[in-house]
Amino acid sequence: MEFSAQQIAAIIGGKVEGDPEAKVSGFGRIETATQGDIAFLANPKYEEYLYSTKASIVIINQDLQLEKKIEPALIRVPDPYSSFAALLSEYEKIKQQKLVGIQQPVFIHATAKLGENVFIGAFSYIGENVVIGDNVKIYPQVYLGNNVIVDRDSILFPGVKIYHNCIVGKSVCIHGGTVIGSDGFGFAPQLDGTFKKIPQIGNVVVEDYVEIGSNCSIDRSTIGSTIIKTGAKLDNLIQIAHNAEVGSNTVIAAQSGISGSTKIGKNVMIGGQAGLVGHLQIADGVKINAQSGVTKSIKAKNTAVTGTPAFEYTQALRSQILNRRLPELEKRIIELEKTISELQKEKQNE
């Protein structure tokens, strides 16, 4: 696929400076791009490469003042990073539109309902009463259990497994190896020391515009639904336990774990390897630092926490400073004790 600077500018709402008919067919970093690539400049530390890049087109900030003449055509926009991201998204959409049809071998139950322009890759399994919306792309080796719903424009990459009765909204992207709807970790301790499994009869609901990374596990609820709400973004290797809720537009970085029945508000940011115990309430806009262990509910909106157990961010920083000063403080205490002892002796000798 080849596009001109003028066509790209129309897509991202930019203004062309230079040759509007400059053509590109690929993407590249500004420091390593070659002829026929489009690149972008968002970080000022890379500005030097603007004058040496081999890219045919570069997206730059509308206010950037050039120090000297350059070869590539420019597209000026208010936010180069966001514009480049939008362009990549459009490029992916065009590629996905070409994926249509059913490869063989696959298993599709006779009761399954398929929308228009659907793609189903080889070795996939589509169970009873599955409903697949228009323009859904199902890559090879995907499993959809009975009564699963996948709404329009969603993408399931290779090896995704969605167990029975789970629901996936529209424009959802789920990457390879992720399991949606496996049993929640529910076991009742018995008098003899064994554990009896509690049947998990709920489901998982993934709402619209969610993206889930590779090798995540989202457990079905015991009763009701485990819910990933609209616009949430999950990184790779994340565990979401039964009956948990992840709020809209919340982002969670890799290797984090959310325990059962914890409810996370909207616009929350959770750093990598953070862990949240069960039955907590996390308010809207909370920021949880990487590797934090959250053991209590956070009810104040827009709070930032860190540490294990996690507590308020600025207090945690003060504590870290005090910890580093402990040897010095210990020395001063010893000196003060010595001074007090000497003063006491002088008073006794009076």
Number of H helices, E strands in the chain: 4, 40
Neighbours of 312 (CB within 10 A): 15
State which amino acid sits at residue 98: K
Q: Cβ distance 86 to 70 under 8 Å?
A: no
Q: How far apart are CA 217 and CA 236, in angstroms?
A: 10
Neighbours of 322 (CB within 10 A): 10
One-letter-per-residue 3-state SS of 162-216: ECCCCEECCCCEECCCCEEEECCCCEEECCCCCEEECCCCCEEEECCCCEECCCC
Question: How far is 128 from 103, CA to CA, in rounded Å?
Answer: 19
End-to-end Cα, the chain, rounded Å = 98
Considering only CA atoms, which of 280, 281, 287 is closest in space to residue 312?
287
Told to judge if 242 belongs to the known catalytic residues of this protein, a careful annotator would answer yes
CA distances from 303 to 163, 271, 276, 281, 293 (A): 36, 14, 15, 13, 15
* 66: DSSP letter: P
Which positions ≥6 away from 302 have C-beta within 8 Å? Answer: 283, 284, 285, 286, 287
Which position among 109, 164, 175, 242 bears the catalytic label?
242
**With the C-alpha atoms ordered 152, 155, 158, 162, is the resulting torsion angle positive or negative?**
negative
Catalytic residues: 242
